[in-house]
Structure 1
Amino acid sequence: MIMIVLGLETTCDETSAAVVHRDAEGRGTILANVVLSQIEEHAAYGGVVPEIAARAHVEVLDRLIAQAMREAGVSFTALDGVAAAAGPGLIGGLIVALTTAKAIALVHEKPLIAVNHLEGHALTTRLTHELPFPYCLFLASGGHTQIVAIRGVGDYVRLGTTLDDAIGEAFDKTAKVLGLPYPGGPQVEAYAARGVASRFALPRPMVGRPDADFSLSGLKTALRLEAEKVAPLSEQTVCDLCAAFQQAVADMVRDRLRVGLKLFREKFGQPMALVAAGGVAANTTIRRLLHTAALDGGTVLILPPPELCTDNGAMIAWAGAERLAHGLTDTLDVGPRPRWPLGDVKKPDRPAEPEPAPHAGPHAAPHAGSLSAAATPFGEEGLDDELHHAAIESEALLFETASRAAALSAPARRTDSSGADSSGSGSPGSDSSGSDSSAGSPEADPSETDQKNAAQPDTAEPAKNPDAR
């Protein structure tokens, strides 16, 4: 099935819009992938502040969409679907992308696909490589650490997970203990490159256990105690502590993958590949050990480019295209899901559709609704008590997001029977509101939620960054 899909990502602290093309053989091409980081906005607080993140998404997403559409050289009428990351993640950010996608889908009569952010990571490698199912995924980020069997679109079986902290979170907290700036993951990696890991004997949690689970809390505590013993810390000592921590994590990951691949073979046979995703997969030391783990497991390692390991719109657009090819779309009343385990993703009940006729005018979207439905943030499921506060704070964001999305999408283009544009308006490179349309400057398991503690600047811990390196 040939298709072009727009993907929106705003789950944490990256705002991204992307356009991907999927050909009849299921091969993908990135036509545009615009990503804007919020590192500067959150650096003063040492982590992601949800309210700041949501506001930043609102202010730039429409411009990033316009830029992505220009770079891709397509109009909204050329799209076959609009995908948005609907969870897991920070509730304010989820509302921004999902509401925007609903408005575009409604105005231009396009299918809407609410994508699980983790599924985006899980399927990214199929965008860059011709990889058949099944394969084994190592997902490591600021909010998640899992080993997952990827058996097909929507068919995911978790083999191992963290019992406490995610690897990316542990890197960030280690950086904070050692006085390194945010974001901590790249800082720890940079300092570790100049350190001597053997100076400090840190534990290797979970190594040798028959399951494939992870644990980072004991390692973090051990590092903090070592740092307290040798305080005040010289620059070389910080380098040595970073090197010791990074090597301990690497040794644990290699052992956990050994067990995870063994469990995969016992349950599903030999995997086609070991695949890594998430911000931690951009760490050069982790990437090197993954090659060894794959070799030890009798399979090959496939890694996405580093820029596709962290959060980006291309992975959401591609997951949307994969789901759309199986007829998996969503109605306009779908709501964001701050907690959304990968195992709860809907599976297709039929194979991917055969290739349809080329674009021939507007598509009949497989959903119905109104602009009021598109601007309904939480769908029919409603909210539990824990999310009421976030919902109230998000109301202003919701209506500003809907307004910006409507301005971006309207007036809708019209096409004649040949598919040619006959309106001359509504170009994605233009903003009918007159604003600048150029690019702007899970479950109880802690590993399966991006729902963060709502932080208030200067008074509370910032939220975890789900894909900090």
Structure 2
Amino acid sequence: MILLSIETSCDETAVALVEATGDFPHAKYRVLGNGLLSQIDIHREFGGVFPAVAKREHAKALVPMLEKALREAGMLSEKEISLSEEIEKQLNILLEREPTLAELLIEFFKTHERPAINAIAVTNGPGLAPALWVGVNFARALSAHWNIPVIPVNHMEGHILSSVFEGDHLGTMHFPALALLISGGHTEFVLMRDFADYEKIGSTLDDAVGEAFDKTARMLGLPYPGGPEIARLAAHARAENLPPLLPPLPRPMLHTPDFNVSFSGLKTAVRTRVLDKELTDDEQAVVARDFEDAATEVLIKKATRALAHTNAQTLILGGGVTANTNIRNAFEALVAKEFPDINLHLPDRELSTDNAIMIALSGHARLAEASTNTENLVANGGLSL
């Protein structure tokens, strides 16, 4: 079967076509086409993602990304097709919140044949509600016109499966498994007793770790997105063996017996070190390294406690912050030294940030939920696993 997947939860517009052969979780997968457009350059001037702008850009980019994915898959078939006034009216009603998208999609329908797609998977949460709605309504319009069932997908489940994905299949999973999801909007520990069986056992009490990276970068005068900039300066400080800050930055909640984390105190400590100061390049690098080390130590400590408590046989790291080299290396070292018998799954860096391939994997996992009745399909920015 072929799934069309759609991701618009934040600032990446992504559409993919993935062929699945066999049943989940033992299927073979083939990525037929993948269209992805990042809005980073647009949001850089705001120092972060501006929801109204993200919504506008998704509306402009979805049809081009659909065309790109179909073209890569060899499934883009041009043909003049007449749409009745009634059909155009229905599409305009479905996309009344996104008139730009309605105009582009109606033109696409008039010039292209229906592709041989079996199901549509779309992120309906969590994320930025205005951005999510664009993708959800796009999926509803495609479903209505092509009579293809839609599968609502939880974005965080997509990150979990993206981490387990090994190019054409899902890697070995032994349960119970522990997933640590770290991104700009989330930091949470999730216990998995099986696929689709989730229990959140810990989370951030304030800032997500990725948010803390971005805010620290902003305090240092670094451009958005801040994570890669912090990592770049931190690597310089390590390479030059620059002396640490004294006193050292705090590790909030490091010794609490739960699996929760907090990064607001660490962020505040950084602010007191840099406020109203002109830092040299090396001083900036030291702050970046010490911040990165503190955040990493907290994650490692809490993960160690959670692994021991849950007797997890698999550790999964998912989300955009997994692209951070220091964090990846720290978890690889942790497993090698303390938990050599568990399976560690890290996503390919290309799949660590938001993408539509992960949404296709989750859609395949939840194929039984596919329906052509999309009247009750809604975006939910606060959706939980």
* TM-score of the pair, normalised by structure 1: 0.68
Identical counterparts, % of pairs: 39
Question: Counterpart of 1:328?
Answer: 369
Q: CA deviation at 1:277?
A: 0.9
Q: Report the residue type matching 1:42 in the other structure.
A: H
Output one character per residue of 1:303-349: Cα deviation in whole Å (capped at 9) or x when no partner: 1111111001111111111111xx1224311111111111xxxxxxx
| Contact 2:179 2:192 (8 Å CA) reproduced | yes
Tell me the distance in 1 between the aligned counterparts of 2:116 and 2:193.
Answer: 31
1:56/1:191 CA distance change after superposition, 3 Å: same
1:175 corresponds to which of 200, 217, 226: 217
Deviations 1:125-172 (A, max 9, x none): 343232335322110000000111223342111121111110000000
SS of equivalent to 1:198: coil
Counterpart of 1:102 (choices 134, 140, 146) is 140
1:11 corresponds, among 9, 12, 24, to 9
- What's the counterpart of residue 191 of structure 2? 149
Aligned residue in 1 for 2:156? 118
Helix, strand or coil at the partner of 1:139: strand
**Cα separation, 2, equivalents of 1:6 and 1:63:** 14
What corresponds to 1:305 in structure 2?
348
Q: Distance in 2 between matches of 1:19 and 1:198?
A: 48
4+ residue runs over 4 A deviation: none
Q: How does 1:12-51 map to 2 (within 5 A)?
A: 12-24=10-22, 25-51=26-52
| Equivalent residue runs for 1:207-218 within 5 Å | 207-218=254-265
User: Which structure has the higher relative contact order (CA within 8 Å, separation 6+)?
Assistant: 1
Counterpart for residue 467 of structure 1: none
Residues 160-209 of structure 1: CA deviation (Å, up to 9, x unaligned): 11111100000000001111111111111111111236234111122222
Superposition TM-score, scaled by structure 2 size: 0.83
Structure 2 CA distance for aligned equivalents of residues 300 and 155 of structure 1: 18
In the comparison of the two structures, how many residue pairs are matched? 332
Could you tell me how far apart the structure 2 residues matched to 1:111 and 1:36 are?
25
Q: Does structure 1 retain, via aligned residues, the 8 Å contact 2:34–2:69?
A: yes
Deviations 1:270-321 (A, max 9, x none): 42x2111111000000000111232323413121111111001111111111
**Where do 5+ consecutive residues of structure 1 fail to align?**
343-469
The residue aligned with 1:337 is 380
**Distance in structure 2 (CA, Å) of the matches to 1:50 and 1:35:** 18
**Where in structure 2 are the equivalents of 1:198-213 lying within 5 Å?**
198-200=244-246, 201-213=248-260
Q: Assess, with a 3 A threshold, how the Cα gap between structure 1 residues 126 and 189 changes in structure 2: closer, same or farther.
A: closer
Distance (Å, rounded) in 2 between the aligned partners of 1:203 and 1:185: 19
- Could you tell me how far apart the structure 2 residues matched to 1:197 and 1:73 are? 56
AA matched with 2:263: L
CA deviation vs aligned residue, 1:377-400 (integer Å, no higher than 9, x gap): xxxxxxxxxxxxxxxxxxxxxxxx
1:352-431 aligned at under 5 Å gives the runs: none
Aligned pair 1:276/2:314, yes or no? no
Residue 44 of structure 1 aligns to a residue whose secondary structure is helix
Deviates more, 1:330-339 or 1:234-243: 330-339
**Cα distance between partner residues in 2 of 1:140 and 1:179:** 23
